[in-house]
Structure 1
Amino acid sequence: MKKKNSNFFRFGAKSNVLKRNLKSDLSSSIVVFLVALPLCLGIALASGAPLFAGLISGIVGGIVVGFISGSQLSVSGPAAGLTVIVLGSIAQLGSYQTFLLALVLAGVFQLVLGMIKAGTIGNYFPSSVIEGMLAAIGIILILKQLPHALGVNSDFFGDEAFAQGNHENTFSAILGALSKITPLAFVISLLSVLVLIYWPKFKKLSVVPAPLIVVVTGVVLSFAFAGTSYGLKTVQMVNIPLFSGWNEFMGLFSLPNFNEILNKEVWIVAGTIAIVASLETLLGVEAVDKIDPKKRVTPTNRELIAQGIGNISSGMIGGLPITSVIVRSSANVNSGAKSKMSAVFHGFWLLLSLLFIPGLINMIPLAALAAILLVIGYKLTRIALFKHMYHKGWDQFVPFVVTVLAVVFTDLLKGVAIGMLVSVFYLLRNNMRNPYFYRIQHEGSKKNLRIKLAEEVSFLNKASIQVLLSEVPKETNVIIDGSNSRYIDPDVLETIFNYKHSAYSKGIIVTLENIQKSYTIPKLNIKIEENVN
């Protein structure tokens, strides 16, 4: 009876939380929907897939992954970081249906990764690298959306890489856009930015979300100038695929070609997608946790399982690979989302817009959406963040800046990999300096050098210990004390025992105190007790 009452009260508490968060989640979901819509279409276009496939993956990422995921603020959808892989894979496998089979298998691989708890790798990304990645995403958003804000749409909406598919790069696209400004698009984006900045400052007006005002303003202005020399072209507007009738709608879906299940190339593509999508997701949820006002922590293994189910679902009905997407997630956080229901709602908005109002959605100027992303980009890469990282010291600031530059001038995964290498360098450097502490005791004409090892001595400490031992003066008594050590790496033990054996030739007497011949890695014992009254 007590258990039933306990479950009843828990359900009631959850229900109250949902009601309390409903206003914020609905408002933020509209912003995420407006940001996600062109991203879904643009990524599908860049991937060489049907435009409808981008919308399918956006809907699945919102509704399916949103419900299963343990992340409260992350938003999933088609991944810009996988466009090159998808484009090449479709050509390599010969048909889009065969690619869908590879996507389904990739989802199965992700399920397995989640079940074997491979998601813990996300806990090893340094804070400075994650902060650098977020700042870089902010800079990329600003640089990539400037051409769209000026009315030039030479590249697909949402590209994160520096080099573009049309033989341009981020900077050349901006320079080209400056010479081809569309006056109406520029006015719409400028007014939109002003609305996004100043509208929330008026408390009575802020009941209506600023991004919604931006979209309405953009639609009104584009409609007012339609048919004139100042009007916007079709390529400067959102473009949802139109259909008439149920049969035509169902014809937009594609099914996997399971006849290719024994094709070796299919399994290779599936493994590639699973690895890259999992890494991008782990980076994404780690970044979102950093900017979550409540500092909640996403269960990474559950996230991999959610992404796996999402990719299986997307592949079964003709969608693209899904990951946690930083751009959408950042928009979600900055729009005031409180729970995962914002991501779920955005998936439903995508579905409803596709079914009932595609014509109305196609009236939204891309310049208005670009303005929303410009403001989000500024919030991610504000100057205060650079100052904060600088005051944390060079070992934090240098990896941060290197990650920012590397992500901006390459792409997300390469940039993070470069930032990780720099962080590892500083990690090794710090371990060289502080793997142990020691003191020198003078006793008569001889010196006693006591080296007291730390609680955990890893292989990273090996080099610094070797340097210290090589500098010990002749005719010194060396005492290596392991009384505080719970674990000493075998490589370090070998160094210590070899030194004891060879030091005698230099007149150095080595004494080992409380050092075992071998150590086992200490087990992590976590005991959680739940007291239900």
Structure 2
Amino acid sequence: MKVSTKYFKADMLAGMVVFLVALPLCLGIAVASGAPPFAGIITGVIGGIAVGYMSNSNVSVSGPAAGLIAIILVAITDLGYQTFLSAVVIAGLIQLVLGLAKAGGISSYFPTSVIEGMLVAIGIIIIKKELPHAIGYDLDHQGDYFYYSIFDDKNYLADLIHSFNYAHAGSIIIALVSILVIIAFNKVPALKKIKAIPGALVAVVAGILLNELFAVALPDFVVKDEHLVLLPIATSFTEFTNQFTAPSVEGFLNMKAWIVGITIAIVASIETLLCLEAGDKMDPLKRFSSANKELTAQGIGNMLAGLIGGLPMTSVIVRTSANINAGAKTKLAAIAHGVFLLLAVLAIPGLLNKIPMASLAAILIMIGLKLASVKTFKHMWHNGMQQFIPFIVTVIAVVFTDLLKGVGIGLVVSIYFILKGNMKLAYFFKKEKHHAGETIHIDLAQEVSFLNKAAIKQTLAHLPNNCTVVINAANTVYIDYDVLEMIKDYMNFGSKDKNISVILQDFKDEYKMQDYASNHVTN
């Protein structure tokens, strides 16, 4: 697919910002998954360059995701790394088949309230997980935050307060300065006009310079190596190539590897489709992406990653959010971030290892605040309870469980309101005076499904004695068989008990309702 260069400068700068955010996340997820740190870089490069090029999305960014950490950790322990890589290739193959089979349409069925709730929850989790890093207490950086359980840190508030005992003044200063820089570039009119230099990039540069200044003037404030980006450095070409690993051929015949592959394919596909939908909603140009092409691209990306020693990937909401916030307009930004990752590994690992994690934490905290803004809560509240309740349930569920469980709970609540709404919309009910008594009109909607059966049945059951009811199907295109059978039963039995006359109006001949009318049918 052709890559647009219309927004070349904006996309390249956005790619640089996403690269700075993605670099430590790629390393952190790899370490948390029990894989070599370089495996995360491999996936980041492929997710940026290969998937970025093949994807139909203009703003989505792919890479290793924390939502797969638990699966990867168990799989590597049980299967060994090379057999695990076979499972990654298998997962990619399954995703490729799903994309070609056009199974990506499932993403269209995620309600807006659930997507909005997922975004807000991720924003809250980002802030929550980055606060310790911002004060220099970042011993277990988790990455993209998709895998998150309240049981992992149920004493979080107490732990956060306790972490201030280990807070580092230098990290706090760097984080605060970085946040102020980003706010200034977002709020100060003169700085907002400088589109060529994103605030996040300036924040990172400020963090490096501050730490260098501390080294000269305030040694006690220096941020140590464990709180800086840690990129593996190869001292020779052989050492660099040795970081790549091929999958085990025998692994493709291992049933456990196939089970892991299927699991990864399902989880990664769902997370990708959710992120794709969310990315389209955040896209300032409001473009739509093909879910089927995204699954195909992800499948090819995972196959490539598995073949050379990388982790499985998904479309990642944190990087996508950073991409959009940095001003990305086309897929060139995602591709550029992958190129920057590759160049960084090859050319400047030493310089990148000077970036304080506190600066990156500041960038992510600002992204989290934008995702979980008060405006979003107000907007959903004004949309009514049918939108707000699924939204707030999704927020709470994702924060206190994980992405997939939380979205699942939100979908269940949303479906309840959808079903409730459909039951009300099945027909229009009105009363009017009639010279022979009371006449009640029930005008059926364009489509009447089995979901509407209970509501119509309830209405018929509560009609007054000795009345006339007119059931009008003039505007109806489809009536479910169960609803037709219920109306027939009512005409044969239910209406006679109350001496109710039933008039069927404009029912199609194929419904064969004529023989059941207690009085007559008007066509």
Same fold (TM over 0.5): yes
- Structure 1 residues 111, 429: closer, same or farther in 2, change over 3 A? same
Give the aligned residue type for 1:122. S
Contact in 2 for aligned 1:154/1:173 (Cα 8 Å): no
Q: Is the 8 A contact 2:9 2:196 kept in 1?
A: no
Pick aligned residue for 2:445 from 443, 454, 467: 454
Aligned equivalents of 1:172, 1:276: Cα separation in 2: 32
Aligned counterpart, 2:502:
510
| Matching residue within 56, 60, 73 for 1:70 | 56
After alignment, is 193-202 or 279-288 more displaced?
193-202
Partner Cα distance (1:462, 1:177) in 2: 58
Total equivalences in the alignment: 504
Query: Is this contact kept in 2: 1:483–1:513, CA < 8 A?
Result: yes
How far apart, CA to CA, are the structure 1 residues paired with 2:95 and 2:147? 25
Question: What is the TM-score normalised by the length of structure 1?
Answer: 0.90
Instruction: Report the secondary structure of 1:510's partner residue.
Output: strand
Tell me, in whole angstroms, the C-alpha distance in 1 between the residues paired with 2:326 and 2:333: 10
Counterpart contact for 2:425–2:445, Cα < 8 Å: no
Aligned counterpart, 1:292: 283
Provide the rounded CA distance (Å) in 1 between the counterparts of 2:175 and 2:253: 51
For the residues of structure 2 that align with 1:250 and 1:394, how far apart are their CA atoms? 57
Structure 1 residue identity aligned to 2:406: G
Instruction: Call closer, same or farther: CA 1:173–1:118 in 2, change over 3 Å.
Output: farther
Tell me by how many angstroms 1:422 deviates. Answer: 1.4
Residue 146 of structure 1: CA displacement?
Answer: 0.6
* Aligned residue in 2 for 1:119: 104
DSSP-derived class of the 1:207 partner: coil
Structure 1 residue 165 displacement after superposition:
8.8
Q: Of 251, 254, 267, which residue of structure 2 is paired with 1:260?
A: 251
TM-score in terms of structure 2 length: 0.92
| Structure 2 match to 1:152 | 137
- What is the aligned partner in structure 1 of residue 171 from structure 2? 185
C-alpha displacement of 1:361: 0.8
| Cα separation, 2, equivalents of 1:64 and 1:493 | 54
**Residues 415 and 517 of structure 1: is their aligned pair in 2 closer, same or farther, counting only changes over 3 Å?**
farther
**From 478, 493, 500, the counterpart of 2:469:** 478
Residue 102 (1) aligns with residue 87 (2)? yes
Deviation at 1:387, TM superposition (A): 1.2
Structure 1 residues 66-75 or 408-417, which shifts more?
Answer: 408-417
* Structure 1 residue 275: Cα displacement: 1.0
- The answer to whether the 8 Å contact 1:107/1:308 transfers is yes
Q: Deviations over 1:240-272 (max 9, x none)?
A: 111121111111111111212232222211111
1:41 partnered with 2:27: yes
Alignment of 1:303-452 (within 5 A): 303-452=294-443
Code of the aligned partner of 1:474: N
Code of the aligned partner of 1:130: I
Which residue is 1:245 aligned to?
Answer: 236
Report the Cα offset of residue 372 of structure 1: 0.6
Is the CA contact (8 Å cut-off) linking 2:38 and 2:243 kept in structure 1?
Answer: yes
Cα pair 1:503 1:509 within 8 Å, conserved: no
1:4 aligned partner: none
Distance in 2 between the 1:437 and 1:168 partners?
50
Write the distance in 2 (CA, Å) between the matches of 1:354 and 1:518: 70
Secondary structure of 2:245's aligned partner: coil
CA contact (8 A) 2:68 2:147 kept: no
Q: Structure 1 residues 162, 65: CA separation in 2 closer, same or farther (over 3 Å shift)?
A: closer
Question: Does the aligned pair in 1 maintain the 2:102–2:292 contact within 8 Å?
Answer: yes
Q: Is the 8 A contact 1:147 1:173 kept in 2?
A: no
Deviations 1:482-502 (A, max 9, x none): 221111222322322222232
RMSD across aligned positions (CA) = 2.1
Letter in 2 for 1:386: F
Q: Is the 8 A contact 2:95 2:298 kept in 1?
A: yes
Consecutive unaligned residues of structure 1, counting only runs of 5 or more, are 1-10, 520-533
2:91 maps to a residue whose letter is A
User: 1:43-93 CA deviation, whole Å, 9 max, x = no partner?
Assistant: 11111111111111111110011000000001011111111111122223x
Structure 2 counterpart of 1:53, one-letter code? A
| Cα drift, residue 510 of structure 1 | 3.1
Specify the alignment match of 2:14 in structure 1: 28
Q: CA deviation at 1:436?
A: 0.9
CA change 1:263–1:161 in 2 (3 A) is: closer
Q: How many Å apart are 1:166 and its aligned residue?
A: 6.5
- How far apart are 1:117 and its partner, in Å? 1.4
Match of 2:111, as an amino acid?
Answer: P
Give the corresponding residue for 1:530: none
The structure-2 alpha-carbon separation of the partners of 1:169 and 1:332, relative to structure 1 and needing over 3 Å to count, comes to farther
Q: Could you tell me how far apart the structure 2 residues matched to 1:494 and 1:314 are?
A: 56
- The one-letter amino acid of 1:144's match is K
SS in 1 for 2:441: strand
Aligned residue number for residue 213 of structure 1:
202
